[in-house]
Amino acid sequence: MIQKLIMGIALSWIVGRVIKSIIDFKKEKRFVCQGFFRDGGMPSLHTAFVVATATGLYLETRVSYLFILSVVLALIVMNDAMKVRWITGEQSKAINQLMAKKKGYAKLEERVGHTPAEVFVGLIIGVLVPYLVYSLL
């Protein structure tokens, strides 16, 4: 059913967002509203979303062309989160340090990528939540 697929994907994103907010709250000792919408950090919501899509498609269609396509997409997104976006964040840190004394310079966002642990937790969320949705409904 398409409703279970959509619910599993949406709940994976929500669970990941709540976990991310709790972790941010513990670090900051206060709720930071803009932190709810930022990229990077624990867990990887990109990973949770695409893995939940692949998991839901597997539960709907078993091994099908759609499932295989979703797995390939998930692997690309996870690789991008760990490598390309991580490198972008590291470059942003270096540029911000170089430009720190320049007046009028808008600081670049530094937390845009994910560590392997953050991606792994996103993967776990993306598998477990849709599985629970399909099991309980």
Any domain includes 126: yes
35: number of Cβ within 10 Å:
16
For residue 125, the enclosing domain spans 2-79+116-136
**pLDDT in the model for residue 37:** 67
- pTM as predicted: 0.84
User: How confident is the model over 106-120, as a mean pLDDT?
Assistant: 85
Any domain includes 37: yes
Any domain includes 38: yes
In tens, the pLDDT along 38-57 reads 677 789 999 999 999 999 99
Number of domains in the chain: 1
d(CA 35, CA 28): 10
Any domain includes 111: no
